[in-house]
Each structure stands twice: as structure tokens, then as C-alpha cells.
Amino acid sequence: MEIGIPKIRVDAADKVTGAAKYTGDLEPRDCLVARVVHSTIANGRVVSIDVSEAEKVPGVVRILTCFDVPDIQFPTPGHPWSVEAAHQDVSDRKLLNQRVRVYGDDIAAVVAVDDVAAARAVRAVRVEYEEYPACVTVDDALNSSAPPIHEEKPDNVLVRSALSVGDMTFDEAAASEPDLLRLEKTYETQTVQHCHIEPPVSHAYMAGGKITVVTSTQIPHIVRRVIGQALGIPWGDVRVVKPYIGGGFGNKQDVLYEPLNAWLCQQVGGRCVKLEISREETLANTRVRHAIRFQVEAAVRPDGAVVARRLRADSNQGGYASHGHAIVANAANCFKQLYRDRKALEAQCRTVYTNIATGGAMRGYGIPQADFAAECMADDLAALVGMDPLEFRYLNCMGPDYEDPHTHVKFNSYGLKACMEKGAGFIGWKELREKYRGQTGPVRRGVGMAIFCYKTGVHPISLETASCRMLLNQDGSVQLQMGATEIGQGADTVFIQMAAECTGIPAGRIHIVSAQDTDTAPFDTGAYASRQTYVSGKAVKKTGAVFKRRILDYAAGMLSRPAEALDLRGGEIVDASSGAALLPLGEVAVTAFYSLDKSVHISAEETSHCKENTFASGVCFCEVEVDIPMGKVKVLNIVNVHDSGVLINPKLAEAQVHGGMSMGLGYALGEELIYDGKARPLNPNLLDYKLPTVMDTPKLNALFVEVPDPTGPFGNKALGEPPAIPVAPAVRNAVLHATGVAVDSLPLTPQKLVERFTQAGLI
């Protein structure tokens, strides 16, 4: 039995001793160094670039500008490619941009012999601009006087969409019963950045007629395709290698600087070029989580039953499309999927170009934003009808029979209410709700909660495909190759456990190739959407079955027995009925390789085209202490309870939850990228960007309700992103319980809280 065992990570020793090799560890000694010249305006056009002084800097090899790049626009998001043009990502940027759309846009690049020369040359480049007014907010961009940020979108709206459920409109439903209570509010989430430890870094060189790019990415096979598109060359002329990666959280689910680096390599005759982005550039010029404004209305019966809801959501996209409207569309789906509307649900969404940093994928993919709106609204509705928030959720949350009417994703297994029961017991919900009722004084305590649900992977909205390869070594051990990527989440360890489970070969005898090389690794779209243990796991299971059968077929010939009478257990060929050991796997392997009669290199490679999906769900409970005059929130106790099906590795699952909860606390209490009126970022560094440290983090508790999911390869389903989703609304709702003050925007910073407490008369 290999599933459900808390095995130590296979990469643990290398990572804690420093033996693990990351992109920066692998660069050649004679690497040239590239630095990007960034715009000093947020909206406008580059009129001219003077590089004459920069070219005089000793050590400069080449300076290239936005006037030199191919006239090719390409997409950057890490989505599977579609053969249907209507479903392809928006191509709205070039390698270097003459039309400036973000403060710090990429307008030129310097290649030099070292970083000092490159940095000096960047400072010597002189740029003349035609500047336009900057749009910081959605309202700025929607103003009729705002200039188009992309000429093909004159109103600055990237995409609009709408959905509805029920046979009547919201207005009709809200007027259909005489005693309905109404709530209308606006909830807002902020712009935040991923803050992974390793910044985006790559090096590119040419050999054998190919461009090889070694890069820190979540999506090596997609990076290969986008480089080919951006440079206008066949995709097969590109090779991408992904070593160990120091975090990504969705930022590296975008193709950031790899195409530019590949092109720079071309321009210097194929010599190796390193391009590493600084922390400040990472915060200001890569990708961020979308700020979204949710205008919501609800009609509810006096007994708490939700009759109808309406959502209007505006997503701040920033300068380029990236993952674009998929984020707010996913947010609308979350709003729809959490609660039952007895008569009607309406949602209208807009994604709007502005001049702040481009919004892309970040852990949760629009669901943390939507969950904040939906779960704040749940507590506000409970207060409106005088109902306990937990009882309100029991009454209104989706049940086990729910199926999304548009995507048809459903709960193939259901543990949401069991998660609520378990978490309420852990936190002492009923006791604390009563204990903290009617408090006075400057320091008060409260307890709050928030639920969530999250689909597993992207089917049916997009393609889900993954492949796996297994090869038998001469000593009876196994090489396991995945196109799916280990990005710090423990995927390699889980894949080994899966392979061991389905082959009968002990996990200690299975070696995984952690680095992905698009010339040799089987295809997989990458690490995102909490998909890998579910989608790529199906490929492991499918391949394992074929691999095991081929081993048994060969062993059957050695033993002169039918393959059906044999099994593979504990690395031994055994009698299927009695379990008696018949032949060591090592003997089968060496015979298969070196037999003079029948030499066979036993291997298997299978593709799983996943056409299934299922919901994971869960809840966060949080107890806080609020210092009202100081506007300070201290988290005293917090727990996430997850229904993620069968846990492949319970210790890794717990670690995933702890990491996600920590991110959720930063989202709730301090993190925000701030811009001035010209769309310049004011805090693109880890001193001024208030990321929580270990000193700010309380004890994190993770609990699970394991309900096997019939569609999961081993009964498992999503866990990667869900832990980050419910924390922020749970903290907000705990502050509401403590103070009676509903704070409807993130983050809950001291300044904001003091202002709200003053308005409420508490200060």
C-alpha cells in the first residue's frame, strides 16, 4: 500500500542541503547578461530611443529596441493551445513594445559581458515618449475621455460576459414574494503579487540548429510553443528545459521573458544569454492577481433562504490580456456554485484594460476574489435575517446533488457539510459566538468562517491532457518521466507513490526525472488549476497498468507460466493466487536487456485525455482579537478543513494547506500593490510590500474529510489552490463578529480599520 502514506519528499534532502540545481545554478560560465530597459511612463508611445552613449559602455555586446523586434504579436498565458481560432488566447504584445501600456513596459534590451556593464548601459539609454493620461482604475479606463490602451478595444473592455440561472430575472424574483428582504453592497479585492522566492530567470543558447531555453517555469511545453510563435519559427526548433523551480504560484504560468531571451540569443549569434529579473521588476513588471469589484444584490426570505442574487463584476486587467477574462468568468462561476438561489441568479462581468501591472494567474484563479464577495455577503445576509452564519450556510450551500448548469461539473463526492461540522467543533463555534456576543471596550474578539468549492482542472472549458513514461532499468528499478512539473508542491513524490501503487514496485525503487526537457519529456500542459494529481495522475495509473502487464508478459516467458497467473508485488514476480515469490524483478530486467534470444527494453508511455471533473470543497474558521484604537487584527486560532478526496500523502497535503493559509492571511491583512495617479507602483519591493513573515503567522491547523472521489485516479481531487481561497473572508467575518463593523474591501489594514471604526462610532 503506497497511497495514503506520509512519505518524505523525494527532493527534500537535495533542497535542504543545497544540492538541488535551479536555473541559476546551471548557467554556463561565459554567459552573456541581458537587462531590460523599462519605460518611465505608463501610457503612451516610444517616439525614439538613443543608444549612442549606452553603446560606448565597455562590455556592451548589443542593444536592441522596440523598433528592431519582429512585427509579431503573441499570447503569453499558460493555457492549452486551441486549434479553433475563436478559443485561442489574445495576442496583444510583442517582444519589446513601442506602444507603452504599463509603467515599466519592456521597450529595449541590453546584452553585455556582465551585469555591471549591462546595468550601466541601461542607465545610459535615452528615450523620448508621447505620453497619454494613465488609467489606474477600471473607472478611469471606462471614462469616455480615456484613450484606448489597445486600439482594437476602443472602450478598453477586453471581454464582456453574462450568465443566468432560473426561469426569471433577478428583478422578477425579488418582487415575487411580499416579505423578501433585500441587500445591496459592493465588495472589492486588491492587486497583489505572488512573491515567490526565485525571480523569473532563464538562459538561452543555440546548438544543433535549435534554441535551448533553460528557465524557471510551471509550463515548459507551453513556453516552447509561445517562443515559436513569438519568434515566428517552427515550435520544434525550440527546446525548453525546466530544472527545479523556486516557486511560481501562477506567475510562472505565464510566458514572461523566455521569448525575449530566445530572440536576444539569436541576435548575438547563438551565444548563451542570461536574463534574470530583479525583485523590483518581478513585483512591478510580471503578473499580479486581478483587483475585482463586485456589486451584488440579494433577496432573501425571513427564514434565511436565498431567493435570488445578482452580481456585477469588473476586473482590472492591467496593460495586457494575459489570462484575461478567464479570471473574472471563473469568479462568476464560483459565485454561482457556492449557494442555491431558489429562483434566479444573474451575473455580468467585464474585464477592463488599465495601465497597472498585467493581471494573470495566481493561486485560486479568480476564486479568492469571488469567495471574498460571496462569503462576506453570506455573513451580511445572515445578520440581516438574525441568523447564525453557520446555520445560514447549512441552509443555503450547494448539496451533494449539485451540477453546474453550464459546465456540468458536479460533486462526484461531497464532504462540504462534514467539513463545516468538523471545523465548527475544532474552533468551538457555538461557544465562541455566544461568549463574544455584546462585547464592549477597546479590544474585542470574534470568530468567523467562510466556505469554498473549487473544480479540479479545466475540463470542459479547456483541454486536459497528460502523458507519462515508465522505463525498466537493468537492475529492476524504474525511471518515471512526467511532463507535469514539480514546482515545490511535492508532485514528484506523489507521482512516485502513484506509480508504486499501480505497478507493485516499491516507491524506493522508482526514480523520477524531476527536470522537464521538451525534447525528451512526455507532453503535459503543466502545473496549474490544481490538476496534476487528478489529470496527470490518471496518466500515471494508465501507464502503470500497461507497464506492469509488459513486465509480467516477459516474466511469463521466463517462467513458462501464463501471465494471468502472475502478479508483481513488492518488486517481486509472485504467484497471483498464493503470493509466493517466484522471481526477483531485477532478474527479469537484466534478462530482458541482455537475453540473446529475446532482448526487450521494457517501457510504457500512455496519454490520458481527461474528460472528467469534480468539485473539491471546504471551510476556514478563524478566531481573532481586534485592537480597535490601533486598527490591529491578531489571529488567535485558525483552521482549514478540506474535502479533497483521498489524500495521496497526508504530510504533503498538510503542508499544502499551511502554505495556502499563509498566503490567505497576507491577502487578508496587509498585501497590496499600490499605484500613484500616473500608474507608477509605489511599493515594488519586499520592504514596502507588506508580506507576512513567520513572526506574523499564527499556528496553522489543517484538517481533512476524506471522501473518495470515483473520478479521481486514486479517489483524489484538487488541493493545490483551495487552501488560499477562504482565509480572507473568514478573517473579515471574524472582525465583523468582534466589532459589528462590516469591512467590505481588502486588505484589512490598520488605517482602513481605524477609518471604518471611526465612521461606526467605535473610536
- Residue matched to cell numbers 471581454: 159
Percent helix, strand and coil across the chain, each to the nearest 5: 30, 25, 40
Domain range list for the chain: 12-20+29-132+200-276, 291-459+612-759, 465-609
Number of H helices, E strands in the chain: 18, 27
Residue 413 sits at φ, ψ, to 5 deg, of -140, 150
Domain 291-459+612-759 fold: Aldehyde Oxidoreductase; domain 4 (3.30.365)
Q: Which helix (H) or strand (E) holds 384?
A: helix 367-385
Alpha-carbon distance of 612 to 633, in angstroms, equals: 42
- Measured from the Cβ of residue 49, the count of other Cβ atoms closer than 10 Å reads 21
Alpha-carbon distance of 236 to 221, in angstroms, equals: 11
Measure Cα distances from 402 to 124, 242, 451, 549, 759 in Å. Answer: 61, 39, 16, 39, 41
- Residue matched to cell numbers 553585455: 112
Residue 111 and residue 268 in contact, taking contact as beta carbons nearer than 8 Å: yes
Q: End-to-end CA distance of the chain, in Å? A: 60
Q: What is the pLDDT of residue 1?
A: 83
The three grid cell numbers given for residue 222, joined into one nine-digit string:
507551453
Q: What is the dihedral of CA 131, 136, 141, 143, to 10 degrees?
A: -90
pTM, 2 dp: 0.97
Alpha-carbon distance of 665 to 654, in angstroms, equals: 17
Residue 462 sits at φ, ψ, to 5 deg, of -145, 175
- Cβ-based neighbours of 324, under 8 Å, separated by 6 or more: 77, 89, 90, 158, 159, 317, 351, 359
Q: What is the pLDDT of residue 86?
A: 84
Residue 554 sits at φ, ψ, to 5 deg, of -70, -45
Burial of 179 (0-12, 13-18, 19+ CB in 10 A): exposed
Q: Which CATH number fits domain 12-20+29-132+200-276: 1.20.1260.10, 3.50.50.60, 3.30.70.980, 3.90.1170.50?
A: 3.90.1170.50
Alpha-carbon distance of 363 to 401, in angstroms, equals: 27
The three grid cell numbers given for residue 560, joined into one nine-digit string:
513458462
Burial of 553 (0-12, 13-18, 19+ CB in 10 A): middle
Beta bridge partners, 574, equal 567, 581
**Nearest one of 131, 118, 115 to 51, comparing CA atoms:** 118
pLDDT tens readout for residues 613-650: 999 999 999 999 999 999 999 999 999 999 999 999 99
Three-class SS state of 595:
coil
**Nearest one of 78, 390, 500, 382 to 258, comparing CA atoms:** 78
Three-class SS state of 267:
helix
Type of residue numbered 140: D
- Edge-to-edge strands of the sheet including 572-575? 566-569, 572-575, 581-584
599 Cα distance to chain centroid: 45
Burial of 318 (0-12, 13-18, 19+ CB in 10 A): buried
Residue 346 and residue 169 in contact, taking contact as beta carbons nearer than 8 Å: yes
Cα angle 98, 103, 105; round to 5: 40
Pairing type for strands 181-188 and 566-569 reads: unpaired
The three grid cell numbers given for residue 230, joined into one nine-digit string:
513569438
Domain 465-609 fold: Aldehyde Oxidoreductase; domain 4 (3.30.365)
Q: What is the dihedral of CA 87, 233, 65, 141, to 10 degrees?
A: 0
Alpha-carbon distance of 335 to 730, in angstroms, equals: 16
Q: Which helix (H) or strand (E) holds 332?
A: helix 325-338
Q: Could you write out the three-class secondary structure of 628-639?
A: CCCCEEEEEEEE
Q: What is the pLDDT of residue 324?
A: 93
Percent pLDDT > 70 in the chain is 100
Beta bridge partners, 316, equal 291, 352
- Mark out the alpha helices in 137-214 (DSSP H runs): 138-142, 170-174
- Cβ-based neighbours of 320, under 8 Å, separated by 6 or more: 76, 92, 93, 101, 102, 358
Residue length of the chain? 763
Three-class SS state of 255:
coil
Alpha-carbon distance of 728 to 748, in angstroms, equals: 9
The three grid cell numbers given for residue 683, joined into one nine-digit string:
511599493
Ranges of residues in the chain with a pLDDT under 70 are none
Q: Do domains 12-20+29-132+200-276 and 291-459+612-759 have the same CATH topology?
A: no
- Residue matched to cell numbers 465562541: 432
Measure Cα distances from 56 to 68, 124, 269 in Å. Answer: 19, 9, 21
Three-class SS state of 534:
helix
**Nearest one of 258, 256, 278, 359 to 314, comparing CA atoms:** 359
